[in-house]
Structure 1
Amino acid sequence: MQQQLTDRVVILTGAEGIVGQAVLAELAARGALVAMVDRAPAGSPAAATAAAMRLNGIDLGDPAAASGMVERVVKKLGRIDGLVNVAGGFAWEPAASGSIETWDRMYQINLRTVVVTTQAVLPKMLEHGSGRIVNVGAAAALQAGKGMAAYAASKSGVARLTEGLAEELKDQGINVNAVLPTIIDTPTNRKDMPDDDPARWVGPDKLAAVIAFLLSDDASAITGALLPVRGRV
């Protein structure tokens, strides 16, 4: 594999999840120095080997916690070249009869974490006049399905944040983009949708490759993009 990201320092949120693990493996294989960040406890030892740094128990909805995390990364790795916002979650619930707490939770984990982490990282990128931010949105941000209103609304917020930040930062050397996957091939989705064909879904490794591309110099002309990653759904 071409070493497109050699020695680039990348913060990866949601790093303990299925997608996070795939992104970590892809970035490490391309030579990046990845700081794994997650609220969850540390998971697989293999991930620790691939990562340059591992930070667990971090509440990315808390500005103080996010800022502290960023300072620890800079202290150990020297700078921040990229941020990949994977952290998030999903809830299926009818909008007409669902709980307002579900809307609050989707906002907190899918949008607030992205805003807070990005605001914590940006001053470091602006110091160097360069950086790449890649947000993991969802195809549902463009067209919500049944039972997906709260989730889709939060991911739509990620899309609008991506567009707005890209406009703010386009003359300051910082590119901001988002990937919009459809169904990702995870054990949970296979369990919840046993009659579907997972071969049509988006493999975590395939999504990770797109994210790695957006972090690379080959994507220097791309900012403000909401890139569909549909598989064959």
Structure 2
Amino acid sequence: MAREIYIFSGLGADERVFQKLDFSGHKIAFIKWIAPQKDETIEQYATRLREQIPTTKPILIGLSFGGIMAVEVAKQIETEKVILIASAKTKHEIPIYYRVAGSLRLHKILPTALLKKSNAITNWLFGAESTSDKALLKQIVIDTDPLFLRWAIDKIALWKNQDEPHNLIHIHGTRDKILPYRFIKNVIKVKGGGHFMTLNKEDELNRILKQELMKESE
């Protein structure tokens, strides 16, 4: 049965990171990132993103920061399923060192030029291995609005959520260096998958997604 699926891309990314995933047979729409307003909370931002979802009981799929936003939107509307890829369900899955840095506001002093730089370190962190993956990551970094990036990093580091959506499915790679696997609970494991695994573990992800989308919700 065809499902209506709304997809939240990763921080600063867009549908390019899903180009190897097969959603044939389903109606999909990609949520567009919008500029955050001054002093906007993550809950308020989720409310504005929600305006892009006219469907009753949709399926939400979120990658990385997109997964965090999918969780926040799911707290405001009824959903059929929420599927996270390389993301976090609650604040407890955000590494403690991010949360400590957030409480000390250390992320506020990072130079914008550093946040917007793609190099061997970012390739390693994201798990971008092939030439094409590295080129795409570099372009995504270039295309990311620095103001949105700073706002989102702040919201990730200070995320307070402790509630998991009903019918949540979490897919996570064992080699994710951004959100390490050891901090993540109750997941479908992708062996060797990194943070960029939508592009280099597509066969395994397509198999898992097909299986999960075929299941009837409880």
TM-score (norm 2): 0.42
TM-score (norm 1): 0.40
